[in-house]
Homo-oligomer: A and B are copies of this chain.
Amino acid sequence: MREFDESSITDAVVARMAGSRSERTRQISEALVRHLHAFVREIRPSPAEWEAGIGFLTATGQKCDDQRQEFILLSDTLGVSTLVDAINNPVSGDVTETTVFGPFYVPPPEFGHGDDIGTAIEGLPMLVSGRVRKASGAAASGAIVDVWHSDEAGFYDVQQMDKTGGLAGRGRFTADADGAFHFWTRRPAAYPIPTDGPVGAMLAAQGRHPWRPEHIHFKITAPGCRPLVTHVFAQGDVYLDSDVVFGVKESLIQPYVIHPSGDVAQGRTMSGTWVSLDHTFVLDDQRQA
């Protein structure tokens, strides 16, 4: 087969993939070629624009290392991560909605109820309490609750290990017989995603800000339930309507309640302003996959 023009080239490439190792590989390869060619035919790139595209993808790959995943940032900021999440986690009754995983998860150290996971980071003292139940009604006793969040400057521990001296602002808790858990930490903050790479340059060219609204990440698993990956966002945050990664859902917004000094919380008399958050998580025990 020879002599490809701008319409025949697509079928020619697709035909070349007919002998793929698996049907799924063939399906993905063919769809990629059809959609990628349709994109190119629509924008009709000049040779210089094609080179710029090659350069952008190359720089994005080369920005990645153990601490940084620039292609996940690209997926997040182009709405692809939210789309993949929506495809894999359709809304189901009162099951807690999911949102993007983000690039900052690492398996956290274990803590007990009432422990403080924020001793190595800066911010207002914050009490987080919650409970986990199954959509069918019962408490999810023994559920494993992984939590992670930024400090008050918007940085995660893994972005500043020289400062925190190890993991901080993250922990693993085991829900009690009633599915409940609580812990102390420091209030996080809204923050910009890293902008010193190709994705930052893209956002600037697109006239977009790089901010995410204040949130805490949760990953919750329990036997017989579908794993839940989600955030709880701070009510009133100025970036709720323009989260750069399109992760906000109305049902995931909660008040981060501010309390004056002198109040007693979980047996502690507080010497300054502090914050509390409470949320109930509902796991899907119908659909486990």
Cβ contacts under 8 Å, A82 to chain B: 4, 9
Contact B57 A71 (CB under 8 A): yes
Q: Is A80 an interface residue (CB 8 A)?
A: yes
Cβ contacts under 8 Å, A72 to chain B: 54
Instruction: Report the minimal beta-carbon distance from A79 to chain B, rounded to whole angstroms.
Output: 4
Query: Which of B9, B25, B240 contacts A83 (CB under 8 A)?
Result: B9
Contact A37 B205 (CB under 8 A): no
Query: Which of B57, B79, B84, B205 contacts A20 (CB under 8 A)?
Result: B205
A59-96 vs B, CB cutoff 8 Å, 1 = contact: the mask equals 11110100001011001001111111011100100000
Contact A246 B21 (CB under 8 A): no
Query: Which of B6, B39, B78, B88 contacts A13 (CB under 8 A)?
Result: B78
Query: Which of B6, B29, B33, B87 contacts A86 (CB under 8 A)?
Result: B6
A16-B202 Cα distance, complex, nearest whole Å: 12
CB-nearest residue of chain B relative to A12?
Answer: B246
Which stretch (A44-52, A131-139, A268-276, A280-288) binds chain B? A44-52
Contact B207 A19 (CB under 8 A): yes
A9-B3 Cα distance, complex, nearest whole Å: 39
A1-29 vs B, CB cutoff 8 Å, 1 = contact: the mask equals 11111100110110011111110011111
Cβ contacts under 8 Å, A50 to chain B: 75, 80-81, 84
Instruction: Report the minimal beta-carbon distance from A232 to chain B, rounded to whole angstroms.
Output: 14
Q: Is A250 an interface residue (CB 8 A)?
A: yes
A79-B13, A206-B20 known; A42+B33 contact, CB < 8 A: no
Q: Is A257 an interface residue (CB 8 A)?
A: no
Query: Which of B1, B32, B62, B242 contacts A64 (CB under 8 A)?
Result: B62
A5-B82 Cα distance, complex, nearest whole Å: 8
Cβ contacts under 8 Å, A44 to chain B: 87
A170-209 vs B, CB cutoff 8 Å, 1 = contact: the mask equals 0000000000000000000000000000000010111110
8 Å CB contacts to B: which residues of A231-254? 240-242, 246, 248-250
Query: Which of B5, B40, B205, B249 contacts A84 (CB under 8 A)?
Result: B40
Q: Is A161 an interface residue (CB 8 A)?
A: no
Chain A interface (Cβ < 8 Å from any Cβ of B): 1-6, 9-10, 12-13, 16-22, 25-29, 31-33, 35-47, 49-50, 54, 57-62, 64, 69, 71-72, 75, 78-84, 86-88, 91, 202, 204-208, 240-242, 246, 248-250
Q: List 10 A-B contacts (CB under 8 A).
A: A10-B79, A13-B78, A20-B207, A29-B206, A40-B87, A50-B75, A54-B72, A54-B75, A57-B60, A57-B71
